[in-house]
Every structure is written in C-alpha cells, then in structure tokens.
Amino acid sequence: MTQPDRPRVDQRRVGRSRNRRDDILRVAFDLFAERGYRGTSLAAVADRAGLTQQGLLHYFPNKGTLLVEVLELSDELNIGRLFADSPGRPASLDQLAELVAYNVTRPGVVRSLTVLTAESLTDDHPARAYFVERYGEFRRGAAAALRAELDGRLPDGLTAEHASALLIAVMDGLQQQWLLQPDEIDMPGLFAMFLDLLRKTRERD
Amino acid sequence: MTQPDRPRVDQRRVGRSRNRRDDILRVAFDLFAERGYRGTSLAAVADRAGLTQQGLLHYFPNKGTLLVEVLELSDELNIGRLFADSPGRPASLDQLAELVAYNVTRPGVVRSLTVLTAESLTDDHPARAYFVERYGEFRRGAAAALRAELDGRLPDGLTAEHASALLIAVMDGLQQQWLLQPDEIDMPGLFAMFLDLLRKTRERD
C-alpha cells in the first residue's frame, strides 16, 4: 500500500470544513442534552464552537437543519458502529444487549437522545418525522432479530412485532429511569431479564 | 343535609382565587405539552390565561414553581382518581392496566408528562427531584402490587422490584411509541401482553 498523495489545497479545505461541521454537531449534541433543543439557541452553539453566529449559519442555515444532522451523525457513529453487518438494524438479541451495556458507558449520548425523542412530540418539531421513521425501522429490525431467534416459540398471541415494540419500550423506559437514578437501576441486568422472559416462556412451551 | 350558608365575601374571593390558580395550571400544562417547559415563557402562559405577566406573578413567583404545581395537580387529578384506595400507589395489576387504557383517552396529558419527564433530565431542571421521587414511589407501589399477586411465582431471578422497574419501563416506552404513531401502537393491548408474560411464566413454574 502506498501513501496517498498529499491532498491538494482545495481538498484540504473540504476536509477542514468537514471537521468544523463535525465539531459543531458535537457541540450541539452536548448542548441539546444539557438544555433540550428548544432551550438551546444558535448563539449558544456558535459561542461554544468558537464561531460567530454568522459563521455558524454558513454551515447550518437554521436550528432545525442542525438538529436533523446531529441525529443523523449520532446514528452513524453509534448504531452504525454496533450493527456494522446490518446497517441501522440489530442482527441479534445479543447485539441489542451489547447496545444496552454500551449505553451505560455514555450517559451523555443517552440523555441527549432521550430528551430529543420526547421533545420531538411537541408541536412543529423538526425531528418528528425523523423519530417516526427511526422507531419504525428499529421495530422492524428488532422484529427480524426476534423472528430469527424465537419465532414459532414466542408465547401464545405474541408476534415478533408485538415483542419488538415491547423490547424497544423496555430499552427506552429503562433509560429514563437509569438517567434519573443511575445507582438504583441496573439497565443491562434488567434488559437481560426481559430477554429471559421471552426466552423462558419459549422454553416452557 | 342542609344547604351550606352562602359564603361570606372573603371566602368567595378565596374560591375565585383558587379557580384562577387552577385555570393557570391547566393552561400551563397544555403549553408544556405543546412547547416543552423550556420552550414555554411565562408571558405565553399569562397571555393564554388572559392575565398580564404581573397578574400571573401574583399567583406564581416563577416558572419553576408553576411547573412543580402543575405536576402536583396532575398527579392529584389523575393518579389520585385511579388509585383512590391507595393514594399514589397502584393496588393491583388490573388497576395499572386500567390506567394504560385510560391514558389512550387523554393523549394531551400523556404527551405533557412524557415531554416533562425527559426534559427533567436536562441541567438544573426544577422538576428533577419531583420525578426522582415520583419514580421511586411508583416503583415501590408497582412492586407491592406484583408481590401481592405474583410473589414467589415470578420467574427465577426476577424479584418484584425487577419486575416493577420493567413494568414501568414498558408503560413509559409504549407511551413514547404510541404518541409518535398512535395508529400503529396498541398501547393497552401491548401492556396486557407484557403482564401476560409475567403471569404465563408463573403458570409454567
């Protein structure tokens, strides 16, 4: 393998610009966790990113665009990293359990997504469509994983789609309780117990 | 039973003042659902309640006080109504299922509480302590209900406390999914399936 050629000046500029965009997205992600989307002004993002507000508008024309790109980047970095073989979709129940264990190591990210998800329920929120889409996709992915491992052996009346909605509810609901009281809520342990409920019922069929 | 005496003037004033307080609390509750706590200004509350901002400050000295009273009133009206025999605590799993069915009839209330709960995770939020307390209390109540109905017959390794944290996670997580896609998520049906998971496992022990 050879060393790549030194980038030409304008490519370097593109690279710098991309880094600057990513920096802004990270700053915004942190601020959304601290203050919520509505509580965060573009001025605050610009200030923490070391830019003028005019400079920030050069990269993101408005706060809604910034939010949607923050969410897309976070999906790419996090879910993409874990579900590399099946982009955006968990391939197995063990991968979901790994995701829950990984989440314990990054309360800031979990907090930001929890706050933003609920905030997307408010009127005219720019990420509403994003979360509707994301939940649909995540339910389908988890249902596929459940079907592959447990199908035909789920309890009577429970389809993979039902179990998938419950599973995602457990993940979200545990995050809320864990973020409020991290010392009282063993998030990965409780999630494993929920998976055992599905599996145990199966074993007894 | 005799008719009560006509109230004296100053008692009527107290009554009017209490009604006015309740009106303000209801207006604020709606606005918090629409815009979140941080997205709602005292000016907007005053405006919708038909008061000047000065007039509003007569009843509530600041937004944090208003929020905490909104939450207390909502607990009183809602949970109090359902758990009349055991204030603040569900007495049985059936009562919890009733609560979930009742919630489907009042998406505005559910939305407001979902938004405010997640928003309480942001920095220096005035309702943080309230939600920590509320979740602790609710977990203890649900654990007592589970213990009364299923104890000794929960799946291996699952205590009433574990099952209670999962149960509340399912309630919260289903609310989030249902609020995003009410036509796709059968909240009471899915909650009943979760209770069945706990009960079925028991029957097979």
Give the pLDDT confidence of A48-69 residue by residue, as tens digits: 999 999 999 999 999 999 999 9
Mean pLDDT of chain A: 86
Determine, for residues A114 and B119 on separate chains, whether the beta-carbon distance falls below 8 Å. no
Q: What is the pLDDT of residue A9?
A: 53
Assess if residue A139 is contained within a domain. yes
Q: Looking at residues B177-201, what average pLDDT do you find? A: 93
Q: Looking at residues B105-115, what average pLDDT do you find? A: 91
Assess if residue B183 is contained within a domain. yes
Chain A contact set for B36 (CB, 8 A): 36, 38-39, 119, 122
Residue type, A85: D
Assess if residue B39 is contained within a domain. no
Q: Looking at residues A149-160, what average pLDDT do you find? A: 84
Which two three-digit tokens encode residue A55?
């400079």
Determine, for residues A115 and B118 on separate chains, whether the beta-carbon distance falls below 8 Å. yes
Q: What is the pLDDT of residue A155?
A: 81
Assess if residue B109 is contained within a domain. yes
Minimum-distance CB partner of A177 among B33, B115, B169: B169
User: With 50 as the cut, is the pLDDT of residue A204 above it?
Assistant: no
Give the pLDDT confidence of B37-71 residue by residue, as tens digits: 999 999 999 999 999 999 999 999 999 999 999 99
Minimum-distance CB partner of B132 among A170, A171, A180: A180
Give the pLDDT confidence of B25-34 residue by residue, as tens digits: 999 999 998 9
Assess if residue B192 is contained within a domain. yes
Q: What is the pLDDT of residue A4?
A: 47
Q: Which helix (H) or strand (E) holds B29?
A: helix B9-35
Which positions ≥6 away from B110 have C-beta within 8 Å? B103, B175, B178, B179
User: With 70 as the cut, is the pLDDT of residue B78 above it?
Assistant: no
**Beta carbons within 10 angstroms of residue B18's beta carbon:** 10
Q: Looking at residues A15-25, what average pLDDT do you find? A: 84
Is the distance from CB of A119 to CB of A88 less than 8 angstroms?
no
Q: What is the pLDDT of residue A154?
A: 85
Is the distance from CB of B176 to CB of A115 less than 8 angstroms?
no
Mean pLDDT of chain B: 86
Three-class secondary structure of residue B84 per DSSP: coil
Q: Looking at residues B88-117, what average pLDDT do you find? A: 88
Domain with residue B178: its CATH number is 1.10.357.10
Give the pLDDT confidence of A73-100 residue by residue, as tens digits: 887 766 666 665 665 566 789 989 998 9
Q: Looking at residues A23-38, what average pLDDT do you find? A: 92
User: With 70 as the cut, is the pLDDT of residue A114 above it?
Assistant: yes
Minimum-distance CB partner of A123 among B34, B181, B193: B34
Which residue pairs, CB below 8 angstroms and at least 24 apart, start in B145-154?
B145/B89, B145/B90, B145/B91, B145/B92, B145/B93, B145/B95, B145/B96, B146/B93, B146/B198, B148/B92, B149/B92, B149/B93, B150/B198, B150/B199, B150/B202, B153/B202, B153/B205, B154/B198, B154/B201, B154/B202
Place A107 in a pLDDT band, splitting at 50, 70 and 90.
very high
- Which structural domain range is residue A91 located in? 63-204
Minimum-distance CB partner of B123 among A35, A165, A196: A35
Alpha carbon of residue B27 to chain centroid = 16
User: With 70 as the cut, is the pLDDT of residue B23 above it?
Assistant: yes
Q: What is the pLDDT of residue A104?
A: 95
Residue among B67, B177, B181 with most chain A CBs within 10 A, to mutate: B177
Chain A contact set for B201 (CB, 8 A): 197, 200-201, 204
Give the pLDDT confidence of B128-182 residue by residue, as tens digits: 999 999 999 889 989 999 998 987 788 877 999 999 999 999 999 999 999 999 9
Which two three-digit tokens encode residue A144?
């596929």
Reported residue count of chain B is 205
Distance CA B83, CA A36 (A): 33
The fraction of chain A above a pLDDT of 70, given in percent, is 83
Assess if residue B51 is contained within a domain. no
Assess if residue A143 is contained within a domain. yes
Assess if residue A39 is contained within a domain. no
Choose between B6 and A173: higher pLDDT: A173
Q: What is the pLDDT of residue B126?
A: 92
Q: What is the pLDDT of residue A97?
A: 93
Q: What is the pLDDT of residue A202?
A: 46
Quote the number of domains for chain A. Answer: 1
pTM, to two decimals: 0.86
Chain A contact set for B176 (CB, 8 A): 117-118, 121, 169, 172
Distance CA A71, CA B38 (A): 20
